[in-house]
C-alpha cells in the first residue's frame, strides 16, 4: 500500500514537472468569416531574454489535419531553447473542384499567423529577428510560400511586418503536383531564399519536387541539405525512431549555421538518414 502511495506521488511530481517544463498556450490569431483560427505556443523551460522562434504548419493536403500534428516537433525544439508554434489554417472542402483556387487562402492564413506571432513578440518573449518556419507535407509547402511569396497577403494584415524566415525546416514538403500545390514554389527560389533542410522517404512521390527545390537552392548558393530515409514513404518523419532522427538532424543543421545553440547531438544509428547523392547513385 505504501509503495503504491509513493508511486502515485512520484507520478504526480513527474506530471507536474512536465507540465511546467512544457508550458503550452493556445491563442486565436484570426477570425475569418466566422472561422476561428488558432495556434499553440510552446515555451522553453529555461531561457534568458527573448528566444528564437520556429513556427510549424501541419500537413493533410489542405483538406485535413490540425495543429496537434506538429506537437512532437514543437516539444523537441522547445526543449532546446526555441519558442515553438503550431498553427491551424483554413482547410479546403473535400471533393470541391474549385478547391485549388482556395489554396491562396491557406497561404494568407499562414502569413497572418507569422505576423500575429511577431506582433505579440513581447508577450511571448521571442526575438523577431530569429524567426524560422517549418512544416510537414502541405505544411512544408505553406512554410516555403510564407517565406518566399510576396504577392499573396491578407488585406487586413499589417504588411509592414515581414514573413521572411531565417531558415526552413521541411519534412517531406509537397511541392508537386502543381494542380494542388499551386502557386509553384519552385518559381520563387532566389538568392534571398533562407537556408533549408529537407527530409523525404526514398519512396515518397513528393521527393522529386524536393530534389528540384534543392537543385535550385544549390544554383543560388543557398546553404541547404536534403536527407533521405531508405525504404520509407510519405510522412515517415512522424514514426517512432524516424521522428527523433529527423529532429536531431534538423537541430544539428541549425547549430552548424549559427541559428541554434548547444553541441551537436548524436544521431541514432538504427534510423540513419542518407544524403541525396548517396541514394541516387
Residue ranges making up the domain that contains 228: 51-92+99-280
Residue 186 lies in a domain: yes
Q: Which three cell numbers stand for residue 197?
A: 533542410
pLDDT tens sequence across 163-184: 999 999 999 999 988 788 889 9
Peptide bond between residue 27 and the one before it cis (omega within 30 degrees of 0): no
**pTM, whole model, 2 decimals?**
0.91
Residue 39 lies in a domain: no
Residue 16 lies in a domain: no
Residue 23 lies in a domain: no
Residue 55 lies in a domain: yes
Residue 30 lies in a domain: no
Question: What CATH number is attached to the domain comprising 77?
Answer: 3.40.50.1820
Cα 189 from Cα 152, distance rounded (Å): 16
Q: How many domains does the chain have?
A: 1
Residue 164 lies in a domain: yes
pLDDT tens sequence across 117-157: 999 999 999 999 999 999 999 999 999 999 999 999 999 99
Q: Which three cell numbers stand for residue 66?
A: 490540425
pLDDT tens sequence across 98-119: 777 889 999 999 999 999 999 9
Residues 116, 101, 171, 240, CA torsion sign:
positive
Residues of the chain with pLDDT under 50: 1-20
Residue 82 lies in a domain: yes
Cα 89 from Cα 105, distance rounded (Å): 9
Cα Rg for the chain, rounded, in angstroms? Answer: 19
Residue burial 242-259, b: 16+ Cβ < 10 Å; e: rest: bbbbbbbbbbbbbbeeeb
Amino acid at each position: 500500500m505504501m509503495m503504491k502511495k509513493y508511486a502515485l506521488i512520484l507520478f504526480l511530481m513527474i506530471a507536474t514537472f512536465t507540465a511546467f517544463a512544457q508550458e503550452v498556450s493556445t491563442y486565436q490569431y484570426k477570425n475569418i468569416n466566422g472561422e476561428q483560427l488558432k495556434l499553440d505556443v510552446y515555451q522553453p523551460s529555461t531561457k534568458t531574454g527573448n528566444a528564437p522562434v520556429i513556427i510549424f504548419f501541419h500537413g493533410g493536403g489542405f483538406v485535413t489535419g490540425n495543429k496537434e500534428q506538429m506537437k512532437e516537433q514543437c516539444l523537441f525544439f522547445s526543449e532546446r531553447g526555441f519558442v515553438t508554434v503550431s498553427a491551424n489554417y483554413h482547410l479546403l472542402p473535400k471533393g470541391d473542384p474549385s478547391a485549388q483556387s482556395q489554396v491562396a487562402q491557406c497561404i494568407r492564413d499562414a502569413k497572418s499567423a507569422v505576423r500575429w506571432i511577431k506582433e505579440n513578440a513581447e508577450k511571448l518573449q521571442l526575438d523577431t529577428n530569429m524567426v524560422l518556419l517549418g512544416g510537414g507535407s502541405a505544411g512544408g509547402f505553406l512554410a516555403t510560400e510564407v517565406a518566399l511569396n510576396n504577392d499573396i497577403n491578407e488585406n487586413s494584415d499589417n504588411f509592414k511586418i515581414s514573413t521572411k524566415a531565417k531558415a526552413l525546416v521541411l519534412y517531406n514538403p509537397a511541392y508537386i503536383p502543381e494542380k494542388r500545390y499551386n502557386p509553384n514554389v519552385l518559381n520563387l527560389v532566389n538568392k534571398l531564399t533562407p537556408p533549408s533542410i529537407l527530409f523525404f522517404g526514398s519512396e515518397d512521390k513528393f521527393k522529386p519536387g524536393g530534389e528540384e527545390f534543392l537543385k535550385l537552392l544549390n544554383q543560388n548558393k543557398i546553404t541547404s541539405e536534403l536527407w533521405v530515409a531508405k525504404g520509407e514513404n510519405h510522412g515517415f518523419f512522424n514514426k517512432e525512431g524516424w521522428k527523433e532522427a529527423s529532429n536531431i538532424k534538423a537541430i544539428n543543421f541549425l547549430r552548424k549555421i549559427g541559428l541554434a545553440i548547444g553541441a551537436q547531438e548524436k544521431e541514432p544509428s538504427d534510423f540513419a538518414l542518407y544524403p541525396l547523392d548517396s541514394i541516387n547513385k
